[in-house]
Structures are given as C-alpha cells and as structure tokens.
Amino acid sequence: MKNFFISRLLQAIPTLFVIATLTFFMTRFAPGGPFDSDKAIPEEIKIKLQSHFGLNLPLFDQYLLYMKNLLAGDLGPSFKYVGWDVSELIQLAFPVSLSLGVSALLIALLIGLPAGMLAALRKNTWWDYLPMGIAMVGICLPSFVLGPILIMVFATKLKLLPALGWYSWTDLILPSLTLGLFYAAYVARLTRAGMLETLKQDYVRTARAKGASPGRVLVKHAMRGGLLPVVTYLGPAFAGLVSGSFIIESIFFIPGLGKFFVTAAFNRDYTVVLGTVLFYATLIIILNLLVDFLQAWLDPKAREQR
Amino acid sequence: MSDVNIKGLKTFFHTREGVVKAVNDITFSIPPGEVVGLVGESGSGKSVTCHSLLQLLPSPPAQVEGGEIIFSGEDLLQAKEWRMRELRGKSISMIFQDPMSCLNPYMTVVEQVAEPLLIHKMASEEDAKQQAIDMLLRVGVNKIKERLNAYPHEFSGGMRQRAMIAMALITKPDLLLADEPTTALDVTVQAKILKLLKKLCAEIGSSVLFVSHDLGVVAEIADRVVVMYRGKVVEQNTTQELFRSPTHPYVKALIACRPTFTGNSEILPTVEDFMGNPSPMPEKRKQVKKSDPPAENTEGWIKVRDLSVHFRQAKQGDVVKAVDQVSLTIPRGKTLGIVGESGSGKTTLGRAILRLTPITSGNVQWQDQDIASVQGKDLLAFRKKMQIIFQDPYASLNPRLTIEQALLEPMQVHRIGQSRKERVDRVVSLLEEVGLEPDYRRRYPHEFSGGQRQRICVARALSTEPEFIVCDECVSAMDVSVQAQVLNLLSQLQAARGLTYLFISHDLCVVKHIADEIAVMRAGKIVESGDAESICLNPQEKYTQELMDSIPSTSRTGTF
Amino acid sequence: MAGSESEGAAMSTKAGASLTRDAWIRLRSNRMALVSLILLALVVAFSFIGPLFCEYQYDEQNLDEQFLGPSKQHWFGTDSLGRDLFARTSYGGRISLAVGLLATSVSLLIGVTYGMVAGYVGGKTDAFLMRMVDILYSLPFTIFVILLMVLFGRNFLLLFLAIGAVEWLTMARITRAQTLNLKRAEFIESARALGFSHARILFHHILPNLLGPIIVYATLTVPAVMLLEAALSFLGLGVQAPMASWGSLIKEGAEKMDIAPWLILFPGLFFCLSLFCLNFIGDGLRDALDPKSSKD
C-alpha cells in the first residue's frame, strides 16, 4: 500500500508541472493576450506586472521566475481589482464554492446510491423503472435549464426558498440541488449497473450457497464490487462539479470562485484566470489521488498496479 | 447421516426461443455416507440437477416443474426460502468448478472459510476464525498461518479449490454437492484433490454428489454412478457394475469412445455408432485427392535446437523462461505429442515454432532453412505450409465473417486458385472433407455447435494446403463423443494428405492415442521424450511416472 | 443450455444470420429506443427542414414585436429583439446538432486511431501512449477549454475542435481496451498464422469487431458534447451572436424568464428531448449489441 501511495504521488508531480508550463506558454503566445503591449492597463498594475513577471527579462528567465513564484504560492496581482492579489481573492471565494460543491456531492451520493441499489435489487419492477426513468431525465436536464426552472417554481411562484445571493444557509438549498441532482442521476445509474453486474457474479452465488441472507449477501459480498464503478466515477465527477459550479454560481449569483473565474474571463483579468486555472488543476489532481486511494482500499487487486 | 431421494425431478427453462427441458423426470438416490457420481456431457442436465437441489437456479428462466427431493424426510422442493437458507452451507454444501470466480476477491480466504460458521451461528467470531485455520491446514493449505490476510488471487488454482472444500466442509454437512470441482485443474493436482475429498468426506460422514463429464474421474471417487443424457437418467448402478457390464448404448459409447492407454484402435467409436440412430446431420466422409506420399526421408524434418522463449514480467522485472533450451525433432508424416500441465510451456513452444511468439534464442530448422530468421515473402511462403488449430473454436473464428469468407480469405492472401469460382469450389470440397454440409458455408460461426466450429477451423487450416499442423489443445474443450469425432477426422486427414502434426495437450490418454512420439514438458524444459508406447507404459523419469499415476485408472484401461 | 452435436441439424440452408442483423432485431424490439429514434428524427427534421415552413429568418429583428407569446403569427413567440423563436430554435438546433456530430466525429477519429494503435502495437509504445492519456485525463479540461476561449477568441471552429479534443480520451481508452481483448482472441492469432498482413488484420478483422462498442460510445458522446457546448454558450463563451445554439438561446431565455417563459421553454425542451433520445438510443444500442448485459 505504501508503495502505491508514493508512486501515485510521484506521478502527480509531472502532471502539475506540465500544466504550469502549458499555461505559461499559452498566455505568452496567445494573440490578444495579456502581454500585448497596446492594452490599456492602469499604471499601478503595469508596474506590478513588470516586477512580478519580469517582463523585461529574456523568456526563459521569465519562465523560471514564474515557476519560482508559483512554488511560493504567489499568483500575482489582479488586473481588475486594484490592490488585490490573486491568491487573496481565491482565499476569499473558494470556501463559498467548497460548501456548494460538498453539499452537491452529498446530495448526489445520498440520493443516488440508495436509489441505484434499490433499483438493482428490485429489478424490472416499479422500484426500478421509476427512479431510473427520473434519473434518465436527470442526466438530460442540464443545470442551466433546471436551475432557472427551480428558481421560477420555488422562489418566484411559491416563494419558499431564496433564489439569489448568499446570505444565509437557505441560500445553499436551491443551488446545491440544481448541481447535485444531475450527479445523483449519474450515480444512481452507475450504482444500478454496478450492483447488477456484481450480483451476477459467481462468488455471490457461492455466498448464497453458504446460506447467507439477502441482506448479508448485499452488504458483505455485493456492495464492494457494486460500488467500485461509482468510486471510479468520482474522479470525473469532481471535475464536473468544479466546472458545474461556474454555471450555478452565475445563475444564482453566488460569490464563489467559479463566478470570479467567469467574470475574470470576460474582463480579461488574466492573472485571475491563470491563477484560478492552476488552483483548480491542483485541486482536481489532489482529489483524483484521493479517489485512487479509495479505490485501492476497496479493491485489493488494484493495490498491486504500477 | 441423511438419505437423499430424488423422484421425478423436472426443471425447465423458459427462454425467448421456447421451453428447454433441462431436467426431464429423473429419479435416483444418494445413500448416506456414499459418493454418487453424476455423469453426462454438456446439455445432459447434470449441473442443473445439482443446482436444483439447493434451489440456486435463477428463477425467471428456470422453473422446477415437478418432482420431489426428499432430504431426511423433508421435501426440499416444498421448502420455503428461509428453510433453504438454514440448510444451505450447513446441512448441504456446494463446491463449484472455477475457484477463482467463485471466491470473493474482496474478502480474505480465512474470512470466507469461517463465514458459514458465522452465518449459521455455530461459533463466535474468534472461534470461527480458529476453526477456519484448522480446516485449511486439514485440506492441505499448509502455509496459511503466514498468510492469514491473503486474498484469493494470491493463491494457486489447486490451493483455491482446497479452500473451497474447507469452506464447504467446515460445518460438517450431511451432503456435499460437487459441481465439476476438478475440471479446471491439472491432472496431478486433480489426483490429489480427489483423494482429499474422498478421505475428508469419509471422515466427516458426508454423502457426496459428484458431478462431472469425465467418467474416469468419477470412477476414482464414486461408489455409485448415475449417467444422464439429454435431461434423463439412462442408467445407474454401482461403479463396478456400470463399467463391467453397461446396458444402455449411450453408456457403452461413453466408455468406448474415450481414448485409453491400452487401446490400440486407430479410429475411435463415436456415440452415433452405439446409439444406432443415424446422425441427424449426415457426415460425408469423402476421401479427397491423395496427396504425394510422404518423402522417403522421414527423419528430422523439423528440427528444433536449444529453443528458448523468455518473457519479461512488467511488474517485477524478472524474466519468465516459458521455454528453456528445448530441442526436439518432428519426423515427417508422423505426430509428435507434447504433454504437460499448465505453465509447462507447451503452448508457448507450439506458437514459437510457428513464429507467433518471438523467439529469444535457438533455431527452428525446417528442411535446412532457419524459420526464426525469414522475413517478408519467405515468411509468407513458410506460413502457407505450417498451420495451427486452437483450443477454443468459437474464439478462433471471426464472428463477423461467414464460413465461406473465412475460408476464402487465406486462399486470396496466398494466391491459391486462379479464379473466384475455383476458390469457391475448393471451399466446397474442403467442407466435405471435414464432414460438413457445404451448403452451410453462408452461415456465421455462432450458428454452429462447438464440434462443428472446430471442423471449420480444421478446414480453414487446410485451405492453404499445409504440410505441418500444430494442434494446440484442440480437443480439450470438448465432450468425449465430439472429441472422438474430431480425433478421427485428424487421423483420416493425416493418412489422406500425409500431414505432420505437433499435438499439444494436457490429456495423456488423448496424446497416447494420436501421437507416434511423445515429449513431456515441465517448467519450460523437456523432461523425457521417446516413442509413445515406451513413454506411457514404461516411463523413466519421476515426473513422467507421477503424471502417469495421476491418470484415473479407468481412463487408463477403459475398464474398472 | 446449449445442446449436443445434433442441435446443428435443425439449420436450414438459407443465408446466415449475421450478428448485425441479430443486433438490429434486438434493437427494434426495444420500444424506448425505437420511440427515441423516431422522436430524434423529428427533432432533426425540425431543425433542418423546419425553416422552410417559417416565414421569418432567425436573425430578422422587429422591434415592434418584442416579447410576444406564442401565437398563430409566431408559433413559438418572439424574443427581446422581436426575432421569431421558432426560426431561432430550429437554427439553434442546426448549430447544436452540428457541433455535437462534428465534435464527436473529431473525437472518434482521433480516439479510435490512437486507441487502436496503442492496443495493437502494445509494449512500450502502448505504455507511453496510455501514460499520456492518463496525464491528460486528469486535467480539468473544461477549464482549459474556457482558458482557450478566453485567450484565443471565440472561433466556431476552435470551439468544436476543443470540445472534440476533450472527448477523445475516453474513446481512446475504450478502443484500446477492446483492441487488447481482440488481439488476444484466437481468431486474430489464426489470422497471423495464416500469414495475413498487419494492415489486413487491423482493418478486416479488428476494426469491424470494434465497431459495436465504438458506435455505442459515439452515440453517448454526442449528448455529452452538446451539453458541453451548451454550457459554454450559457457562460457566454460558446457561439457568439448573431449565431445561436440551444445553449445560448437557453441563456437568453433564463435571463428573461419571468416575463417571457417561452423563451427558455422551447429551446430547453428541444435540447433536453434530443439528449434524452440520444441517451436512450445509446443504451438500446448497447443492449442490442451485447445481449449479455444489464437487462436480465
């Protein structure tokens, strides 16, 4: 197990390196990019950029400076928000997105897992058709369609829940539901497929032949194999939750990192854009590592790979 | 000690294509403490019978339509599910064919072996674990104390099967159901497992229902034998009586069409010969054109010198010597048999000779040309003359091509025949030569049975007019009767076309039947070689002797 | 419960039943998939032939007719600039479906070739190629696409190239896994023993047997791509005015939802319906091509 941990960690480092390098060169060479000299940028910012990025140094030295800054966690000053550093902005906005993401994930798992398992156990009955039918609708209803509809129904018409802004915990409900339900649908389908596949396995038949009750068969024998596809899906799901948060935060006017990112993209606030990209990339790589560990913990055979 | 009486059992499968009467009114009993062998080929219903006893069949397609199964005075077919759960694993246990897929890969072996005790509340957790360890030692998993947390994939096939046995017998059941438990094992391991089963069950006092397709294996362990054919019991008797004086023609056929050690016949009898009814599909055994008689020089036609095939294991970085300095000669027009267990390297050897696997060192001389180094057009010419037939006839045929397309393609690649019409004619005659109806050539592989598909593979191998064919376990996946047909076909073709065979198999009886000379392989090396008679009847090396001794005696002699 | 030898006797001598035909029969009997096929065909017809029935152009503005509800004049109503929604929705359909199809084709082409080469050649080449895929897979692609859009401007071509580039990874993985399986199958070894060239084996024997899973996955990729494009357009980073896709239409509709709900209703309906049908067809194809999976 320990070797697995180390080797995985070591694999993550080149990935981060590649991303950082890619971002650097992309921005330097993009037409209409931030370092085009005819952009109208306020003086104070220009000075800060000069010193931070060393724009008068040769290209390779700029690159080294960039990497050095990165390792120190310095992402540079914001183009638009004078006086603010990108890392400060991230520190402010990220906790908001984090709470949104975590609640959405919880919703996805707490609804999706039981629904999928029930559907698998009561296959080809209404307990199967109904949840799976809803799940199918769920994966076809993107958050930007579902969100406005939920707002219209619950906030505008019924006046039950607050729609926009981020003032109290009730503001969390509609956005997390919108984001989470899509993933709940995916999780439900995956769980059902995984459970069905596992329940067909020979070793489950052996468990029954030993006289195990259906409950025991499910929990002690089928669950691990059945849940593995969901665990594998968690990796892409994290990535999806991150990008989904952009849309949700835009719709619901939540001051999270996603909204900052999108706004920055529009405003050509390059340092914020780049900084956020790097931050998210690092985050996702760490999350993927966690998922790998979870998988290895569940599946003894996976521990020996690579 | 309990009595098991099965009366009039009927289990049907309701499929989209209609009702399949898998088990159609069978009656037999298992006296307390005895081993009853249930024998049949595929489709006979023997496995379904076994599963019906524990009501383990998936209920939508399968349905028990009638009969009784009286176990200690209780009719199991009338028992409710909760009652069956009480019996399963405690009074009636079951072991299955493939221990890898039948053991939970996510639980340690010790946990799984202890589980029946916990399910039936026969011991505390601590106590169950200890009993499991003791049981595992008893079945011969000797290193278990050092591997308490080991998972199934860390054990070998034989060890896993022993663990399954431990798991089944730990609750000292009255009845043990064994569904083909040794079929997937090497012959030496099989012999040991059979002995173990017999000993343990006698000690514990369990009766056993031993299901198998192999009469010889059953004869080793069973007191009584029940033979099934197409869902019905055709004969049952004590083992001795059944072998000495079988009455039903099917049973006679089963006994007769197994190649044995002492048998001398060139052509094996087949089931059809005994059943009296003509084959539903007429076999056209046309004697096709005689090829040139084999050259005078039958010596050393294909010479293999110091051949080695090494694989680098990606994980640990060490080298696996699949074939290690092997030298042999294959005489022209004859058959060299290669015998070995799993991991012996026999399959790799066959493929290396055909250059389907890269050769690490050594050479393969074919009429003074070194095959290992030819390229391009020469390689193509060489491929034309040397062909291979594999074990799994379904996987050997491209499911998307019709038989005709599959047979035409090699001719196109090797430019055999001047026109398409000529090639199609050749296809027709090839199919007749292997005993298949030529009109079937526009059908797809999945529409044929296993034996027929293997014939198609033979026809395809013949399509390039080869002189040498490697038969890689090509009858191993078949029922005895089908096996006999294919072996007969191979013999006839050898006589008619002067072919040379390299026949690879783990089944000693089959190899002795068909081979003129035999080489025994183990761990990549040749242990012993010589002509078939002396190797089999008078082996010199210890390993060869062990192999010969592991063959069930009935398989060896054909009699009890 | 396959029978013994004599089962074969029942065969007649008519032409064989190919696996494709069997799959088609199975698909036909799947009602949901059939219904989805028909509905999808209708949606496609609407997008491409619909405009013939409409007297308005998709970009025809008429400031006197802003925010009109559905009526006999404007079947789906009008938007903030008086443009006819029916025309815009069908136009949006053309764009969204086109992007879906084109981007999927791009990812198919790249992914299948990549996966087939990696799987067939094997060894170090395979290890290297797949390591690249693994690294790329762990990158948050959506974010990168956004970055690309920001830096390089909003180019329609770039958009669907970028989207296609996201999806090819999974296609490559699936193709490689299938190729590896097939490579080990004995009919491929037989082909080599019979002296067939690598090219022949790849195109005649491996590729046709790959088609099944590829088609299934491609059918399921189209809705994923459409979702991605719609999300980007919703964020304002996708197609730019005067072009419109269902995604951008939904965005416009969401902004004006309280006064003109039809603006989000119609594009949203068509969009979700297409996704729905494509997913069902994809599922149906998967079941039809591999009868051993899920349903039983």
Write out the H or E segment, with its range, that includes residue B381: helix B376-385
Write out the H or E segment, with its range, that includes residue B51: helix B46-53
pLDDT at C294 exceeding the cut of 60: no
DSSP class of C21 = H
Compute CA B172 distance to the chain's CA centroid, rounded to the nearest angstrom. Answer: 31
SS3 labels along chain A = CHHHHHHHHHHHHHHHHHHHHHHHHHHHHCCCCCCCCCCCCCHHHHHHHHHHHCCCCCHHHHHHHHHHHHHCCCCCECCCCCCCEHHHHHHHHHHHHHHHHHHHHHHHHHHHHHHHHHHHHCCCCHHHHHHHHHHHHHHHCCHHHHHHHHHHHHHHHCCCCCCCCCCCHHHHHHHHHHHHHHHHHHHHHHHHHHHHHHHCCHHHHHHHHCCCCHHHHHHHHHHHHHHHHHHHHHHHHHHHHHHHHHHHHHHHCCCCHHHHHHHHHHHCCHHHHHHHHHHHHHHHHHHHHHHHHHHHHHCHHHHHCC
Q: Which tokens is B161 given?
A: 């099967």
* pLDDT tier at C5, thresholds 50, 70, 90: very low
Would you call B438 exposed, middle or buried from its count of C-beta atoms within 10 A (0-12, 13-18, 19+)?
middle
Model pLDDT for residues C66-100, shown as the tens digit of each residue:
888 888 888 888 888 888 888 889 999 998 998 89
Tell whether B442 lies on the interface with A, counting CB pairs under 8 A: no
Residue boundaries of the structural domains of chain C: 11-295
C-beta atoms of A211 and B90 within 8 A: yes
CA dihedral B108, B112, B115, B116 (to 10 degrees): -170
Model pLDDT for residues C120-136, shown as the tens digit of each residue:
988 888 888 887 887 77
pLDDT at C3 exceeding the cut of 50: no
CA distance A212 to chain B (A): 6
CA C209/CA C183 separation, integer angstroms: 11
pLDDT at B294: 46
SS3 labels along B405-434 = HHHHHHHHHCCCCCCHHHHHHHHHHHHHHC
Q: Judge contact between B190 and B508, C-beta under 8 A.
A: no
Domain A92-305 has CATH 1.10.3720.10: yes
CA A249/CA A257 separation, integer angstroms: 8
pLDDT at B502: 95
Tell whether C119 lies on the interface with A, counting CB pairs under 8 A: no
B247-256 contact pairs (CB < 8 A, 24+): B249/B274, B249/B275, B249/B276, B250/B274, B250/B275, B251/B227, B253/B481, B254/B39, B254/B41, B254/B215, B254/B227, B254/B480, B254/B481, B255/B215, B255/B558, B256/B558
**Of the partner residues C16, C189, C200, the one whose CB lies closest to the CB of residue B442:** C16
CA distance A216 to chain C (A): 22
Assign C270 to helix, strand or coil: helix
Residue with tokens 């013949």: B462
Do you know the residue count of chain A? 306
pLDDT at B285: 37
Region A42-65 average pLDDT: 70
C-beta atoms of A205 and B56 within 8 A: yes
Sheet strand arrangement including B361-366: B319-330, B302-312, B361-366, B369-370
Q: Judge contact between C274 and C97, C-beta under 8 A.
A: yes
C-beta atoms of C187 and B398 within 8 A: yes
How many CA atoms does the CB half-sphere of B263 hold within 13 Å? 24
CA distance B496 to chain C (A): 22
- Which one, of B387, B341, B382, lies nearest residue B191 by Cα? B341
Taking contacts as CB-CB distances below 8 angstroms, the residues of chain A near B102 are 202-203, 205-206
Taking contacts as CB-CB distances below 8 angstroms, the residues of chain B near A201 are 101
pLDDT at A262: 79
* pLDDT tier at C15, thresholds 50, 70, 90: low
CA distance B154 to chain A (A): 9
pLDDT at B280: 38
DSSP class of B443 = S
pTM for the complete prediction? 0.83
C-beta atoms of C4 and B42 within 8 A: yes
pLDDT at C288 exceeding the cut of 60: yes
**Measured CA distances, C67 to B336, C76, C244, C247 (Å):** 89, 11, 18, 19
CA B522/CA B342 separation, integer angstroms: 9
B421-427 contact pairs (CB < 8 A, 24+): B426/B463, B427/B463
**Of the partner residues A202, A216, A300, the one whose CB lies closest to the CB of residue B102:** A202
pLDDT at C138: 67
C-beta atoms of C11 and B443 within 8 A: yes
First-residue to last-residue Cα distance in chain C: 16
CA distance B152 to chain C (A): 24
The DSSP result for C197-266, as a single string, is -HHHIIIIIIHHHHHHHHHHHHHHHHHHHHHHHHHHHHTT-SS-TT---HHHHHHHHHHTTTT-THHHHH
pLDDT at A156: 74
B343-348 contact pairs (CB < 8 A, 24+): B343/B523, B344/B521, B344/B522, B344/B523, B344/B524, B345/B309, B345/B521, B345/B523, B345/B524, B345/B525, B346/B504, B346/B506, B346/B521, B347/B472, B347/B473, B347/B504, B348/B309, B348/B322, B348/B323
Domain C11-295 has CATH 1.10.3720.10: yes
Q: With a CB-CB cutoff of 8 Å, which residues 53-92 of chain B face chain A?
A: 54, 56, 85-90
ipTM: 0.82
Residues 6+ apart with CB under 8 A from B376: none
Q: With a CB-CB cutoff of 8 Å, which residues 183-222 of chain A face chain C?
A: 193, 196-197
Q: Which tokens is C135 given?
A: 């690294």
Chains in contact with chain B (at least 3 beta-carbon pairs closer than 8 A): A, C
- Which one, of B232, B234, B252, lies nearest residue B244 by Cα? B252
Q: Judge contact between C277 and C40, C-beta under 8 A.
A: yes
Lowest mean pLDDT across A8-17, A99-108, B212-221, C145-154: C145-154
pLDDT at B284: 35
Q: Judge contact between A249 and A104, C-beta under 8 A.
A: no
Tell whether C237 lies on the interface with A, counting CB pairs under 8 A: yes
pLDDT at C4: 36
C-beta atoms of C195 and B379 within 8 A: yes
- Which one, of B5, B558, B487, lies nearest residue B244 by Cα? B558
SS3 labels along B142-176 = HHHHHHCCCCHHHCCHHHHHHHHHHHHHCCCCCEE
pLDDT at A132 exceeding the cut of 80: yes
Percent of chain A with pLDDT over 90: 13
pLDDT block averages, 10 residues each, chain B of length 560: 86 86 92 93 89 87 89 90 92 92 92 94 93 93 86 89 94 94 89 92 93 90 93 92 90 84 70 60 36 47 87 73 91 91 90 89 84 82 91 89 92 89 93 90 88 93 93 88 90 92 92 92 92 88 90 76
The DSSP result for C72-104, as a single string, is SSSTT-B-TT--BHHHHHHHHHHHHHHHHHHHH
CA B8/CA B28 separation, integer angstroms: 9
Region A272-286 average pLDDT: 81
Tell whether C173 lies on the interface with A, counting CB pairs under 8 A: no
**Of the partner residues A31, A139, A281, the one whose CB lies closest to the CB of residue C279:** A139
Tell whether C25 lies on the interface with A, counting CB pairs under 8 A: no
Tell whether C45 lies on the interface with A, counting CB pairs under 8 A: no
Tell whether C271 lies on the interface with A, counting CB pairs under 8 A: yes
Position C27, amino acid: L
CA C4/CA B451 separation, integer angstroms: 9
CA C148/CA C138 separation, integer angstroms: 18
pLDDT at C7: 36
Taking contacts as CB-CB distances below 8 angstroms, the residues of chain A near B85 are 211-213
Q: Which tokens is A71 given?
A: 């390792």
pLDDT at C19: 79
pLDDT at A29 exceeding the cut of 70: no
CA B93/CA B89 separation, integer angstroms: 5
Tell whether A280 lies on the interface with C, counting CB pairs under 8 A: yes
Sheet strand arrangement including B62-71: B18-30, B4-15, B62-71, B74-75
CA distance B282 to chain C (A): 9
Residue boundaries of the structural domains of chain A: 92-305
